[in-house]
Amino acid sequence: MKKLVAMTICMLIGGCMALFADNLPINIAHRGACGYLPEHTLPAKALAYGMEADFIEQDVVLTKDDRALVIHDIHLDTVTDVAKKFPGRAREDGRFYALDFTLAEIRTLKACERFDIASGSAVFAGRFPLWKSDFRLHTLEEEIELIQGLNKSTGRNVGIYPEIKDPAWHREQGHDISPLVIGILADYGYTRAEDNVYLQCFDFAELKRIKNELKCELKLIQLTEEDFDVAEVAAYATGIGPWIKQLITGIDKDGRPVISDLAAKAKAHGLKIHPYTFRVDGLPAGISAEQLLATLFNQIGVDGIFSDFPDVSRDFIRTRVKQK
Ligand code: CA
């Protein structure tokens, strides 16, 4: 009898643990583990994988030869030595655009920690040193192969989280980025809502087009940075990726975070909430890292987080997130 009770308790605990694990918010490595290694480099992605992120993010822009390049900006000059290697190739605004270079040319560039082009100094002073070691940019296909390869060799199932960058600008320049990215995702087996991928974009009209015209069945995340019509977004998106400041607008006189009504509205419409960006070296004024994560996960109840420090967010999610 004692044995039976013990077994039943074990099964119950096991069941609860499984349920708990299934309900945990997702940890999304923002530009890889970019708090530690230069953003959007394969080493930063491998480190994020090693830190057991649930999803790894890819920002995607096009090259001159329509290759899908993983980089945050349409410009090359804040994370590479393009200005030194191709000094005559800036546009009139002085900027170097990925779209003006072939993939072969871009492969010759050294990538590094993000820096300010006016001063040449690092944006995040405490991160990986500028211009050390040897980092390169890579394609979306190469990154998917890295993640899928690691999924095979480790037996884990880490997802991808691509963002289509500036689709309207790409179109003005004569390049249609969305069908290209969706085609690559399909080539690697990401076609259905249940596949381990979220596709994100800031452009409302484009994400709607991806759903309604391009007939993309993947889970879509509408990124946002200002007020928007939640009901309208709920008609085509699985969730929203709001700026943290849209959820926590500041702190009150007692130092407590002030929470907006956005999350409640989004939840009422069945939308998932994956805010950006958790940075231990770029926290909202007056809020500690621990307080920020506790507010986001345990008070607001977000479903995931974009994190520059996926090890820190992972530890919080695994040990301090209260079950919903
Ligand atoms: Ca992004």
pLDDT digits over 192-219, tens only? Answer: 999 999 999 999 999 999 999 999 999 9
**Cβ contact 111:98 at 8 Å:** no
* pLDDT in the model for residue 11: 47
pLDDT of 47 > 60? The answer is yes
Residues 161-174 as b or e (16 or more Cβ within 10 Å = b): bbbbbbbeebeeee
pLDDT of 7 > 70? The answer is no
CATH homologous superfamily, domain 25-74+140-320: Phosphatidylinositol (PI) phosphodiesterase (3.20.20.190)
What separation in Å is there between the alpha carbon of 223 and the centre of ligand 1? 9
274 counts as catalytic: no
Residues that place a CB less than 5 A from ion ligand 1: 59, 163
What separation in Å is there between the alpha carbon of 306 and the centre of ligand 1? 9
d(CA 304, CA 8): 32
* pLDDT in the model for residue 5: 52
pLDDT of 321 > 80? The answer is yes
Catalytic residue among 72, 75, 170, 274: 72
What separation in Å is there between the alpha carbon of 160 and the centre of ligand 1? 12
What separation in Å is there between the alpha carbon of 10 and the centre of ligand 1? 42
Cβ–Cβ contacts within 10 Å for residue 111, how many? 24
Place of tokens 């394969």: 42
What separation in Å is there between the alpha carbon of 58 and the centre of ligand 1? 7
What separation in Å is there between the alpha carbon of 253 and the centre of ligand 1? 33
* pLDDT in the model for residue 14: 41
Polymer length of the chain:
324
Q: What is the pLDDT of residues 79-131, one digit of tens each?
A: 999 999 999 999 999 999 999 999 999 999 999 999 999 999 999 999 999 99
d(CA 155, CA 145): 15
175 counts as catalytic: no
pLDDT of 239 > 80? The answer is yes
* pLDDT in the model for residue 23: 82
pLDDT of 6 > 70? The answer is no
* pLDDT in the model for residue 2: 53
More confident residue, 300 or 17: 300
* pLDDT in the model for residue 3: 52
Instruction: Read off the pLDDT band of 323 (50, 70, 90).
Output: confident
d(CA 257, CA 105): 47
d(CA 58, CA 69): 9
